[in-house]
């Protein structure tokens, strides 16, 4: 049984409190981000995350510098140096422009639904209210903003 995981964008993210340099925080819209320039790669956030959603970058970027798109979102998907932590940001560079995260846009089965939890008319709210849904490790009090649903 495969159960994919990613950053669950917790309401109470334990990863934020353990960062000794303040390189990770929760934005006003609830997205937990990492400043890759500030990150020192200590991996405390990786240890604190109960969902194993953080990844350490063990490798140098493989795309030659001259091939990297110069128009990159500071907190979004951009080239990251070896020795920093990485995580999903729900493609912040796309969602802040009203687009879907790449995974939701590309999913051929519609298994990923992204939307505004505060909008009572959004598709995600309908799914949460009408389908069988669950969140991982709810007992920890992190209040993840990622639900699994079944038909």
Residues of 47-61 as b/e, b for ≥16 C-beta within 10 angstroms? ebbbbebbeebeeee
Tell which CATH classification among 3.30.70.20, 3.20.20.80, 3.40.50.1110, 2.40.50.100 matches the domain 14-106: 3.30.70.20
Specify the pLDDT at position 84. 96
Specify the pLDDT at position 60. 86
The residue among 18, 50, 45 whose CA lies nearest residue 136 is: 50
Q: What is the phi/psi pair of residue 93, to 5°?
A: -70, -20
Task: Note the pTM of the prediction, 2 decimals.
Answer: 0.86
For the stretch 104-123, pLDDT in tens is 999 999 889 999 999 999 99
* pLDDT band at residue 74 using 50, 70 and 90 as cut-offs: low
Q: Residue 88 in contact with residue 6, Cβ under 8 Å?
A: yes
For the stretch 1-42, pLDDT in tens is 677 788 999 999 999 999 999 999 999 999 999 999 999 999
Dig out the tokens for 26 from the structure: 């929760």
Higher pLDDT among residues 61 and 76, named by residue? 61
């Amino acid at each position: 049984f495969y159960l994919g995981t990613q950053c669950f964008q917790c309401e109470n993210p334990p990863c934020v409190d353990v960062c000794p340099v303040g390189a990770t925080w929760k934005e006003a819209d609830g997205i937990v981000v990492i400043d890759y320039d500030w990150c020192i790669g200590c991996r405390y956030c990786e240890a604190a995350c109960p969902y194993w959603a953080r990844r350490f970058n063990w490798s140098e970027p493989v795309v030659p510098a001259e091939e990297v798109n110069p128009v990159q979102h500071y907190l979004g998907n951009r080239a990251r140096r070896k020795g920093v932590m990485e995580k999903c940001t729900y493609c912040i560079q796309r969602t802040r422009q009203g687009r879907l995260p790449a995974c939701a846009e590309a999913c051929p089965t519609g298994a990923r639904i992204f939307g505004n939890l505060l909008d009572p008319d959004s598709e995600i709210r309908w799914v949460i209210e009408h389908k069988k849904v669950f969140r991982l490790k709810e007992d920890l009090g992190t209040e993840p903003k990622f639900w699994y649903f079944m038909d």
